[in-house]
Amino acid sequence: MSSAQADRATALPGLEAKREVVVYAHTSLLYWWPVWAIGYILALVTYSQGSLYTFTSGDQEFKVLIHPSKNLGVIYTMTFFLVILITNVSLRGYASAMVIALVLALTFAFAYLNIWDDIFGAFNALAIFMNFGFYVFFSTAVFVVWALNVLVFDRLDYWIFRPGQLVHVRVLGGGEETFDAHGMSVHKLRDDIFRHWVLGLGSGDVAIATSGAKKEEFLAPNVLFVGSKLREIQRLIAMKPDDTQSVTVLGDPS
């Protein structure tokens, strides 16, 4: 290693082994993992603790495995509802804080007015039963769509950050576009606490704005583990191109 390379490696430790960052954007289906995960858990509980019930349809009889507790169906229905709500209603920054403050205020107000007893009584009277076959079939269908979207379709359009350079890759028909990183702006948008932290486990939306004669603006939504990788992107776009390359993926667990 030359003296200049040694000085740079000392100033930026670890970067000699990380010369590219690949950014994969994801759709809101990324946050649907609780639907299939909890569905499989409830299917396992139903399989191990459920009872066989006989239903008739005309001359045919069907034996269906159902858990005797009414709570499993309520849990799954509420999980499904909350995932739909969180993935379709965006609350960023102060809006998220205001919603949390409102929920806390209502919690204390309901406790002071003794309303919680009526609410819990209504939930206690709610009975939703789902059989083993429903949990397995529906969870598998959601998992297949989720896996294809996250692991296949979301990888057909991505960005590669290299020293002093950005490459936008479109796998299907679009080819590649290369942008000079000089003057480029890359930053994370304000978090949606419920979507990015509760369901996304630290995901975020990345805004990219190029400069120069060919100006472009890109939004990479729902990028996984974005907080731990943005510093690497900022350092890469501030560097000059280098032939030494290896890959770090932004948006993947690895």
- For residues 195 and 95, which has the higher predicted lDDT (pLDDT)? 195
pLDDT tens sequence across 199-220: 887 888 899 898 877 788 898 9
Instruction: Give me the count of residues in the chain.
Output: 254
Between the alpha carbon of residue 56 and those of residues 53, 63, 86, 119, 134, the distances in Å are 10, 9, 39, 36, 18
CA–CA separation, 99 vs 204, rounded Å? 19
In the chain the domains, ranked by start, together with CATH numbers, are: 16-27+156-250 (2.30.29.30), 31-151 (no CATH)
Q: Report long-range pairs for 201-206 (Cβ below 8 Å, ≥24 apart).
A: 202/226, 202/227, 202/228, 203/26, 203/30, 206/23, 206/25, 206/230
CA–CA separation, 36 vs 144, rounded Å? 9
Is residue 239 within 8 A of residue 165, CB to CB? The reply is no
pLDDT(132) > 90: yes
Is residue 66 within 8 A of residue 131, CB to CB? The reply is yes
pLDDT(28) > 50: yes
Query: Under DSSP, is residue 209 helix (H, G, I), strand (E, B) or coil?
Result: strand
* pTM value surpassing 0.85: no
